[in-house]
Amino acid sequence: MVDQKLKGRVLFEKIGKPTRIVAPMVDQSELAWRVLSRRYGATLCYTPMFHAKLFATSEKYRKEMWCDLDGDTELDRPLVVQFCANDPEYLLEAAKLVEDKCDAVDLNLGCPQGIAKKGHYGSFLMEEWELIHKLIRTLHDNLKVPVTAKIRVFPEQQKTLDYAKMVLDAGAQFLTVHGRLREQKGQKTGLADWDIIKFLRKELPQDTVFFANGNILYPEDIERCSEYINCDAVMSAEGNLYNPGVFNVEHIGDKDKTFPRVDRLAREYFNIIKNECSESLASRKAMKSHFFKLLRPFLPHHTDIRANIAALNAKSSLDEWEQKVVIPVEETVRKIFEDPTIDDTVVTLEKQLWGGSYKTVPYWRCQPYFRPVNGVTADKRVVEELESKKRQAETPLEKEKEKELKLD
C-alpha cells in the first residue's frame, strides 16, 4: 500500500503546490472558516486538531467535529486532517474514517496547551521519539493517503534536526515547523525563531516538502518568510484568524482584499455558514469565537455589538445572529463612511529590527492582534526586547573603542 501512495513532492504537486496554509487550530479552522480563508488567498487548509481516540470511539464527538461536507471535492480541498494521539491503534482507527475525504492525515506534535499536557499529546510527546515514530509509521503503512507532521523546536539546533529527521524517517511526507519552543505560548509567545527553521530547511534533504509557521502578521511577511527560509509554503494561525486577508499576497496594496472591512467580512462569513455550511455543527460552534476575533478592533468602539455577541451562542438561531450582529455591524460601518472626513488609509510604518514593518489600520478593517501583557502589547514588547539585545551586543564593542581611545 505504501508504494501506491503519493509521496513528498509528487503529493505536493498533485494538490497544486500550495504556498499559503491555514494552520490546524483547536475549534478554529473548521469548515466555514476554511471556505472563507480560501476566498482570501489560502491554498491549503488543515482541519482543527481532532482527538484521535474520541474521534474513533464517540459518534457524538464525530458529529460535532465532522460532517459530510468536510473534505467535499468541490468545497473543501485540498485538505489535511489533523489528529492528536498517543495510541497508534486509535490514531489509525480515526484516520481510517477520513482517509477518503482528505489529501493527507497530519499528526499534531506541536500543541503546547495545558489540555495537551493533561491528555499527553501534541508537544508533550517531544521526548518520546519511539512513540512518535510508531504513530507516524502506523499511518504510513496502513492508510490510503499520506501522513504528515507538524512539530515545534527544541532549544538546541542539532537536537531539533535529529528530531525532524526521525519524523521524516517514520514516514511523514510534509514537515511543518513552528519555530517556537513548547514553553512559548499565551503571554510567553514571543517571536518564532526563523533562524532555526532556516537551519532545518538547509540541513534536511532538499526534496523534503517543508512548511514554516510563525511571525505572520501581514501579507508581506509571507514572501519575506518564504525567501528567508527557502520553504515550500508558509502557514498562519493567529494571523489568519484575525484577518483572513493575510493570505492575499497577490493583492498587496488593495486594502479591501488584504485588510477587508469588518462589515463585508462579517456578512460574507455569515452567508457561508447559512448557505454553504449549514449542516456543519463545528462551524456553528465556532461562529461566536470567530466574530469576536474578526471584530476585535471594532468592538471597543461599539460595545453594544460586543454585548450582543456575548449573549449569543451556538444554539442561537441564525436569524438572531444576523439581526443582532451582522446587520448592526453593517449599519455602523455605513454610518462611519457617511462622514466625508473619514481617513480610511492603511499606513506602513518604518522597518523594525525583526525585519518587517508594523501598520496602522483603521479599526473598521480586519488586522493583526497584539496580545497585551501587563498593559504592554506584543508589538511593543518585541521591539523593546530586540532593542535591548542590540544594545547588549553593542556594549562590548563600545568598551573596546573606549580602551583604544584611552591608549591613544
Catalytic residue annotation: 111
The grid coordinates listed for 220 are 508581506
Q: Specify the residue for cell string 493533561.
A: 118
Q: Specify the residue for cell string 489568519.
A: 240
Distance between CA atoms of 262 and 297, rounded to whole angstroms?
Answer: 9
Q: Which of 358, 352, 351, 360 is nearest to 386 (CA)?
A: 352
> How many CB atoms sit inside 10 A of residue 85's CB?
29
C-alpha torsion 78→26→22→150, nearest 10: -80
The grid coordinates listed for 151 are 512539530
Residue 130: CA atoms inside 13 Å, Cβ hemisphere, count?
Answer: 0
The grid coordinates listed for 59 are 459518534
β-bridge mates for residue 357, sequence order: 351
> How many CB atoms sit inside 10 A of residue 327's CB?
15
| Residue 182 · residue 152 · CB < 8 Å | yes
Give the Å distances, CA to CA, from 209 to 168, 194, 323.
10, 17, 46
Instruction: Provide the residue type at 51 as one letter.
Output: H
- Which run of H or E residues covers position 47? strand 44-51
Give one DSSP letter per residue of 72-101, joined into a string.
Answer: -TTTS-SEEEEEE-S-HHHHHHHHHTTTTS
